[in-house]
Amino acid sequence: MAVEVDGGWHFSRSSPPVVLGRAVAKWRALEMRGWRVVSVPWHQWRELATSALRQEYLANVLDGVLWRTHQTSSGVGRAPQSNDATAVR
């Protein structure tokens, strides 16, 4: 599993920010090599004011990854959406 904190250069300047193609291409390249990639968008991370909130955020993201990994391996689950920045890619 790879966790990447994606800075502003991974997103458009629009509101809301949209993941740029080069970031998605990198995630897909890592996936093809067997990695599960979790993106932590900077604009979400900066809104978390305390260490406790950041820990809770990461715990929720990683818990979701583990759940989706289990569900996918058993043939159940949904594919992540391309605009879902926190989805496993």
Q: How many C-beta neighbours within 10 Å does residue 25 have? A: 10
Q: What pLDDT sits at residue 89? A: 40
CA distances, 59 to each of 18, 53, 55, 72, 88 (Å): 24, 10, 6, 20, 14
Q: How does DSSP classify residue 79?
A: P
Report the predicted TM-score, pTM, of the whole model to 2 decimal places: 0.57
| Interval 14-57: pLDDT, tens | 888 888 888 888 889 999 999 888 888 888 888 999 999 999 99
Q: Give the containing element (helix H, strand E) for 2.
A: strand 2-6
